[in-house]
């Protein structure tokens, strides 16, 4: 992340259209942690930094296609078994499927 952590966390969360509570669930963190990160009181753990980088990549790729990341996250996707990405994102396997989907899309390979 190139900008301040506080700015980056808030930016990613806002781009995804998530409350602090939902974003905390997505990152497997507490709402209090999200608030502290966004207010520059503490920094995310290395694991949380990794998750933030993943979601930053999701925002970058989806925005690059001209789509709204918040809407994309909530739209049923046939590549994910007709599930919404937000519903699959809470598990390691779900996040892996989202990354594979985005990699394929970035290379113009869609089923």
Model pLDDT, residue 105? 83
- Find the DSSP H helices in 1-111: 5-16, 20-27, 31-38, 46-64, 69-74, 85-88, 92-106
Rounded to whole angstroms, how far apart are CA atoms 25 and 7?
A: 19
Domain ranges of the chain: 5-106
Task: Give this prediction's pTM.
Answer: 0.84
Structure tokens, 18: 């998530």
Query: What CA–CA distances, in Å, run from 101 to 8, 11, 46, 82, 107?
Result: 24, 23, 25, 13, 10
Q: Over 50: is that where the pLDDT of 1 sits?
A: no
- 88: its two tokens: 């699959």
pLDDT digits (tens, 9 = 90+) for 22-76: 999 999 999 999 999 999 999 999 999 989 998 998 999 999 889 999 999 999 9
């Amino acid at each position: 992340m190139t900008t301040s952590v506080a700015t980056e966390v808030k930016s990613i969360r806002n781009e995804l259209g998530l409350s602090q509570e939902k974003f905390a669930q997505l990152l497997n963190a507490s709402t209090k942690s999200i608030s502290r990160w966004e207010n520059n009181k503490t920094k995310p753990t290395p694991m949380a930094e990794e998750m933030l980088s993943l979601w930053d990549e999701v925002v970058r790729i989806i925005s690059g296609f001209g789509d709204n990341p918040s809407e994309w996250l909530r739209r049923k996707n046939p590549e994910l078994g007709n599930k919404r990405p937000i519903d699959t994102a809470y598990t390691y396997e779900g996040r892996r499927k989202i990354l594979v989907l985005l990699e394929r899309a970035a290379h113009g390979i869609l089923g």
